[in-house]
Amino acid sequence: MSIELAPYLFSFIAPFMASLIVFLFGKRRFIKESVSVLSIFLAILSTVLCWNSLSISDKTYLIFGKIFYIDGFSILMQLMVEFVALMVILYSLFYIPKVYNHRKENFHNYYSAILLSTAFMNLSFIFNNLFLLYIALELSTIVAVYVIVFKLNKESLKAGFKYIILINVGILFSLLGIILLFYMAGEPVMISNIGEVIKALHRNIALLSAFLFIVGFFTKAGLIPFHLWLPDSYSESPSSVTVFLAGGVTKLGFYGLVRTITGFSFNYEEIKILVIFLASLSMLIGAIVAFNQRDIKKIIAYVSISEMGFIASALVLKTYEGIFGGVFHLINHTLIKGALFFVAGAIVYSCESRNIENIKKAIGKMPTVITTSFFIGSLAVGGMPLFASFLSSITIFFALTKEGFLWASIVLIVSEFINAVVLLKTGIEIFWNKEKSEVSTTSIPFLMLICTGFFVILLILFGIYPDIIYPLIDSATKGIIRILN
Amino acid sequence: MEIIYIAILFFGFLAGEAKSLKFSILSLIPHSLFIVIVVFIIGYVNNIPSLYLIAVLDLIVRAILMPILLLKCLKNRVETETKPSISHPLSIALSIVLLSIGYNFVEMFKSSYIPHVISSFSSGLTLFLYGFYLFISKRDILKMMISFFIIENGVHFLIISMIPRMPKFIEISVTVNFVVAIIFLVYISLRLNEIFVKEEIEKLKESSSQRS
């Protein structure tokens, strides 16, 4: 292994070591907070260094033997997960001690689990060998269950059990797909040569392995019909963890999807149609089911499923615009869900309930940042102009139409509309209700407000000045297309 | 060799279909021991010494550690399974059909598409399919864990069948992942059992206070 790889591996090593330190010494004052934040900063630094090396060289990727492969998409995913982890850690500093006070002896384990899961996610983004990618992906999934069941009540334990067993069985299907590719290729399949392997496959075998990958990575991403774990895990876990799940854990499913299924869809029209059909189901069913929910986190969870359908449908398109739109929406989905779930967290923090009827009775005057963030998040879900999601949705819309999937574009627009209506209706019910006590003002810690506001600011900033994020998305898109072509 | 594969499927069937959870878990011991024997034989016949290490690892993890962990989950709960979504006699019939037809079908698939692959492939894929059937038909938490165990054993066999050209590190890592997942599942299951017991006690207290 080359010595020049060492700085890039810091994106894994820093959170991994920090996780051990926090686990062993985290009970001492300030250790868990300072070490966690510092390690994530180090990881971000390492990823930025990697991005810098890639941009100054003529190459579109960095390859280190048969083990590591880093391109624009790997870097984008790492940056996204690191940013989410940082926000989650900062938000948790005040949120967890108040809402989960009964687990105060285990707070250091909470931070340790988040860091460990982040470390394995970062590792999976740079592995070249599909088997190693699977191993890192599964480990990050398993570790995340600890924070899902952090409350340790019946509901959270049931949600955690569902999460771990469904995702583990689901991604074993993708392992079966990897094994099948191995049988056909005669050697372990690498991300760097997967395009060639897919082209050389017998048609029936290719369709079978694509199907196995779809089951595996759709389960991981939480797309319909493999979404059963998602609503419960999102609603029963702490709100900070929900952001981690939506912005990190499910994104691993999309990473796997891009590295494998997109390759099949480039060569087999049937796969593209199947994925777009399932993605459209996710868009529509997610939006419709969200209408019937009375739990604020479940509403956002189903809206999230619906939005992930947009991403999946775009990522299997054969055009640059399609993949670009999908990758852009991947970022926007993280920002929107970050803002919305952090608002939900602030509501739970002040009202101690997720049920809309209870919230309406208990809620006082909320800080402007919280109410504004919720409405901006809702409008962004609807793909309104001025927000980054407008640009990504419109790109996906045109890309789908251009490839002959007008029906899917219509489903996308209809679902966006329903999602926005559901969230706006919920927002109006909660924040503008007449039962609300105008006297009591809810105080939310400043750091929680900053974290929520930061997601919203980025959403607007990328919407008005997309040039800021354009080079990274462009590099990611080119990286994806280069491998698969 | 064929007899050993059939024995593995048979004990897998017992583990999946027995109503008594204790018997189900105990059936996993001979099931796993036969897997260990197969791994040893494949290592000996194909002259792959590293398979001996994997066989020893299997013996420790699959035949000893896993049944012990699963038996722990019986603490604080009844030893018969929660009513499954498919009735018991029908499920037994379906299992027999799935295992026998599945095994033969996979054998045919293997000989026409991948004849060069080691013989554990057919048994592995059949176990995977059977485990998945159990997973969707059972409602009991422990039965779901047993079906996950069977699916994982199937995947293990599939990986073993390509071991001559595969780094052993990968197989060992997959096994480690499996152990970690089972440990978390056992932890959750034990916590859930505790909560259910507490609820039952509270209900009993309530009913006795109402009577008095």
Its ipTM equals: 0.89
Nearest C-alpha of chain A: how many angstroms from B208? 24
The CA distance from A323 to A330, in Å, is 10
pLDDT of residue A276: 95
Residue A295 main-chain phi, psi, to 5 deg: -105, 120
Q: Is the pLDDT of residue A465 over 90?
A: yes
Helices B21-45, B141-160: axis angle to 10 degrees equals 10
Burial status of residue A457 (CB atoms within 10 A of its CB: 0-12, 13-18, 19 or more): middle
Q: Cβ neighbours of residue A215 under 8 Å, at least 6 residues apart?
A: A170, A173, A174, A226
Q: Do B188 and A202 touch (CB under 8 A)?
A: no
Search chain A and give the residue with CA nearest B181. Answer: A142
Residues A304-357: tens digit of each pLDDT = 999 999 999 999 998 999 999 999 999 999 999 999 999 999 998 888 888 888
Q: Is A441 helix (H, G, I), strand (E, B) or coil?
A: strand
Nearest Cα to Cα of residue A9 among A116, A119, A117: A119
Largest CA distance in chain A: 71
Q: Is B40 helix (H, G, I), strand (E, B) or coil?
A: helix
Q: Which residue numbers of B have CB closer than 8 Å to A's CBs?
A: 113-114, 117, 128, 132, 135, 141, 144-145, 148, 151-152, 155, 158-159, 162, 165-167, 170, 173-174, 177, 180-181, 184-185, 188-189, 191-192, 195, 199
Residue among B148, B158, B181 whose CB faces A179 most closely: B158
CB A47 within 8 A of CB A19: no
Does this model's pTM top 0.80? My answer is: yes
Q: Is A438 helix (H, G, I), strand (E, B) or coil?
A: coil
Handedness of CA A426, A432, A433, A435 (dihedral sign): positive
Residue A290 main-chain phi, psi, to 5 deg: -55, -30
Q: Which positions in chain B touch A132 (Cβ < 8 Å)?
A: 170, 173
Lowest mean pLDDT across A192-206, A336-350, A447-461, B107-121:
B107-121
Residues B31-63: tens digit of each pLDDT = 999 999 988 888 888 888 888 888 898 899 889
Q: Which positions in chain B touch A103 (Cβ < 8 Å)?
A: none
Q: Is the pLDDT of residue A19 over 90?
A: yes
Task: DSSP for A244-304, please give it.
Answer: HIIIIIHHHHHHHHHHTHHHHHHH-HHHHHHHHHHHHHHHHHHHHHHHT--BHHHHHHHHH
Q: Do B155 and A205 touch (CB under 8 A)?
A: no
Nearest Cα to Cα of residue A302 among A393, A411, A227: A227
Cis ω before B49 (30° cut-off from 0): no
